Amino acid sequence: MTKRIITAALLLGTVSAFAPLAHAEMAGSVETETRRVPGLERPAEIVVDFWGIPHIYAANERDAFFLQGYNAARDRLWQIDLWRKRGLGRLSESFGPAYVEQDRAARLFLFRGDMDKEWSAYGPKAKGYTQAFVEGINAYVDQVADGTLELPIQFKASNSRPERWSPEDVVRIRSHGLTRNATSEVERARVACLAGLRADALRAKLEPAWTTKVPDGLDPCLVPEDVLKDYELATKGVSFSPETQRDAALDARSFLAASRGKRDTIGSNNWVVAPERTETGRPILANDPHRAHGVPSLRYIVHLNAPGLSVIGAGEPSLPGISIGHNGTIAFGLTIFAIDQEDLYVYETNPGNPNQYRYGDGWEDMRVERETVAVKGGAPQEVELRYTRHGAVLRSDPAKNRAFALRTVWLEPGTSAYFGSSDYMTARNWDEFKAAMDRFATPSENQVYADTGGNIGWIAAGMTPRRTNWDGLLPVPGDGRYEWGFFTRSDLPSVYNPADGWFATANQMNLPADHPAAEKPIGFEWANPSRYQRIAEVLSADDHVSLNDAMRLQNDDGSMVGRRIAKLFAGQPAPADALERQAFDGLRNWDGQVRADSAAAAVAEIMVAGPLGRETVKLAVPEPARAIVDDGDIGAVLDLLEAPDDRLGTDPRGARERILSAALTTAVAKAKDLMGDDPSDWRWGAIHRALFVPDVAPLLSASDKAQMSVGPLAIGGSASTPRATSYGPDFGVRAGASFRMVLDVGNWDASRTINTPGQSGDPMSPHYRDLAPLWAAGAYVPLLYSRGAVETSAAEVLKLTP
């Protein structure tokens, strides 16, 4: 396909420029291909627009989902094939013995229940959608196998081949969902053992305000630091680095350190605005999920059309349907709603039989399954998988007669991540949408809604454990005293046509003020509210919200955390060192905008990344627990610095002054090391850049790695800004909103979206990296819905025949 020019007219704030651009500079001949696809029932078309978004036009629903699978393989074959192999525990079969431990861990967490119950949980059409979807994938895989289509470069680099799918593969894999709070339970138990629960307050702020206690019968010191190693192996991505084998056997302290880095890296923003508060007089719905960045992204935009079906938006490329988007009548978007969906159980095991554990007044047998893992280049290996009534056994300690198992919502029937969207994506009104949430189990989500009738709403959705005698914040004995039931959908909050005329979520604690936390302990660990507070500040002040306003807000760099830091330094004595004084003055006068060109933002974020929290923890947490608390929860740290108490010693305010001074000294030294001696040259964007590196990079030559990588791209924002750009130890962007969407509800062709670095995972495609510079600039492309608009912007047409 000829590469077309995308000009600055696409930049944010010039929405009206899209239409003439499509007719003028982007005009050109449409590439047309006719292809026979065995398994297709009727002739169909896939129209790919200038921005790589496929619009599928099929004669029936079955063919629409068949072609969604076929097209997913066309653009993302390596990605979805690797997702399947990882989830099923079949990496060793393709990549060798380094992956046996990860395969064993993945198999621990496969759904092993009744498949009839599993399928029925998603609704009457889910199995048919999935059957068609995987038949489409298999049709593409078959054409690669027989040489009709090219094998993607990633398979060549890894010396592997794509495999055929079964419908059960899609729903049995559970280890890719975003659930919580097993890791935090273990860390809290370790802190409780080493320093008492008060010390844990700096590690994780609890909301609503809550004081937890050690459950009766639990000795927190018996919880091993590395008890979740199998859980982490099962849920991690696939690494092709030479360190893969080493990572599978991390020592306990390194393991916990690696796990802690995941906090605040995932989440999302969404909001809906009612017609009376918009410039258009129609609802606006905005959504930008935050996930780990990669190439390609973890979301894929697609448009499915058939008689009775017309849905457009984004979903997981390995699943049928969409989870974020609209169907021409209603629009929907999601963010994580922090239901606690995991618990670690601690068992006393029988000294004479380690496969028995105490339950009630007797011993209960573990279920033991043995499977054979095929290994490329080696002998098959047998692995043992053990289960209690609560879930997968993660570890046994025969010397102490203890075993540990994880109970997770996501091993219940009907809990395949995001798959519940197969029901709600075709709802036609609020009542149908709300009822469909009975079938949406994981991840737990804030679902926002808008319709062409001018209505907006929000509903919390997800399977929710009912714990009657504990709060879920620490591991519990598995002897029968601590058992789950489940709340119903009606037990979770929702809002329809809110009085304020808007509703927003950003993973913050948004349970109603009258929520009975003791009777309904849904969850206590939420994201820092900074993103939400900034979104609310903007939306509450604007009663004529436009599409441009919504796009600007998704790319807003305002940080309430930053403002709090600036206020703290405004009351701090000036340092004597000249370089520190210059940085200090910048912080005192900083507006909290984490812009790419800001020196103050660079200093502040370097402090947030470690020094500020660690200096606080050094004084407030007893030494044995400091390594676990690490740099703490930034919200809890700032709360303590704003209102210092006896945790900081006999002179709390003097301690605060010393903490701020030490943190500034460390941050300035780091900034100097990274950006030079002159603070006038410091810029956040100089160290905060997005680089999209393919997962097969370790297998590539240096030149191929460079060609397949995208970036680096300087960008503003942080974990605490609406433009969420979480970063790693090197300050490089690791996670954030790779996909964004702003919907003009009812005037659908005016809607906008972006998906970075591009729609395709094929490095040879023009849509592999084409959207990355637009994304970095805060720009968008059209999310076209009408057939006429799609055909006007067509770049490629695939005419498909049976």
β-partners of residue 781 are 753
For helices 611-620 and 599-608, angle between their N-to-C axes, nearest 10 degrees: 40
Q: At 325, phi and psi to the nearest 5?
A: 155, -140
- For residue 25, the number of C-alpha atoms closer than 13 Å in the C-beta half-sphere is 12
Catalytic annotation, pick one of 92, 268, 318, 422: 268
Q: CB under 8 Å to 353, separation ≥6 — which residues?
A: 363
Side chain identity at residue 763, one-letter code: P
Tokens of 577: 């060192």
The answer to whether residues 598 and 615 touch, using CB atoms and an 8 Å cutoff, is no
Query: How many angstroms separate the Cα of 117 from the Cα of each of 111, 316, 391, 414, 502?
Result: 12, 23, 18, 8, 38
Closest CA to 135 of 36, 39, 58: 39
Q: At what angle do helices 560-570 and 599-608 cross, to 10 degrees?
A: 100
The span from the CA of 578 to the CA of 754, in Å, is 44
Q: Which residues lie below 8 Å from residue 598, measured CB to CB, with a gap of 6+?
A: 590, 683, 684, 716
Whether cis (ω within 30° of 0) applies to the bond prior to 712 is: yes
- Can you tell me the distance from the alpha carbon of 114 to that of 121, in angstroms, rounded to the nearest whole number? 11
Phi/psi at 154 (nearest 5 deg)?
-65, -35
Give CA torsion, residues 373, 374, 378, 380, to 10 deg: 60
Lookup: tokens for 295: 């190439």
Name every residue whose Cβ is closer than 8 Å to that of residue 682 and which is 6 or more positions away in sequence. 599, 602, 603, 671, 675, 676
Continuous segment of H or E residues that includes residue 219: none
Instruction: Please confirm, yes or no, whether 268 is among the known catalytic residues.
Output: yes
Q: For 131, how many CA atoms within 13 A lie in the half-sphere containing its CB?
A: 9
| Strand positions, DSSP E, 545-700 | 689-692
**DSSP secondary structure letter of residue 217:** T
Binding positions for Ca(2+) are 187, 340, 343
- Which position has the token pair 């006719």? 34
**Separation between Cα atoms, residue 514 and residue 754, nearest integer Å:** 38
Instruction: Tell me how far apart the alpha carbons of residues 749 and 53 are, in angstroms, rounded to a whole number.
Output: 14
Q: Where are the alpha helices (DSSP H) in 14-99?
A: 18-23, 61-88, 91-95
Q: Which residues are marked as active site? A: 268
